[in-house]
Amino acid sequence: MSNASYPTPVYSHAGRGDYRDVYDPAEDSFLLIDALEQDADKLQQMSPSVCVEVGSGSGVVSAFLASVVGSSALYVCTDVNPAAAQCTATTASCNSASLQPVITDLVGSKGIEASWAGGRRGREVTDRFLPMVAQLLSSKGLFYLITIAENDPEEIIRFLGEFGLTGVSCLSRRAGNERLSVLRFHRTQL
């Protein structure tokens, strides 16, 4: 395992001015960044050609991933909020990352789902997106998902298992009264 350390991307513009309605990176964003840093060697060895962030908000997670994986990958950052797409572009510029913001809602004919929040158990949007993951994920790909305890992470792992994906909780942390977890999925090897 390498001892490389990757800097937190510059994102001071997020949540302010023209971007005041854009999700400002918080504990969940930084937990996902920590999980990606923990998996840096694995991600570099995979050498992904396409990385997609669903609900990019400020774009800080994709900017971080670009610093780990490098410029050989295409970084697609989706969000339903046009201000988030512009904020992602600004984050890319501030961090010399090549990110491609896309304003969209669903994968398939409409693109990729843009938000994880809301609905029953906080999963209304997630539950619409999860069945598409197995279709989108390459044979060597990884899918990371941030959850809180109320999202029932174990049920999500079981559900995606029915689609041929194996999942584990790779990192967890308490943030205030929430228990955050990063779930990591890959195709089940037969």
User: What does the H/E/C string look like for 110-158?
Assistant: CCCCCCCCCCHHHCHHHHHHHHHHHHHCCCCCCEEEEEEHHHCHHHHHH
The answer as to whether 181 is a domain residue is no
Total count of domains within the chain: 1
Residue 77 lies in a domain: yes
Domain holding 38, by residue range, is 17-141
**What's residue 23's pLDDT?**
85
190 falls within a domain = no
Q: Is 114 among the domain residues?
A: yes
Q: How far apart are CA 118 and CA 47, in angstroms?
A: 33
Q: Mapping DSSP to helix (H, G, I), strand (E, B) and coil, where does residue 77 land?
A: strand
Which CATH number covers residue 54? 3.40.50.150
**Contact between residue 110 and residue 104 where contact means Cβ atoms under 8 Å apart:** yes
pTM: 0.89
Q: Has residue 107 got a pLDDT over 50?
A: no
Which tokens go with 73?
Answer: 């990958």
Confidence grade of residue 129 (pLDDT, cut at 50, 70, 90): confident
What does pLDDT average to over the chain? Answer: 87
53: in domain: yes
Within a domain: residue 99? yes
How far is it, in rounded angstroms, from Cα 178 to Cα 175? 5
115 band by pLDDT with thresholds 50, 70 and 90: very low
Residue 21 lies in a domain: yes
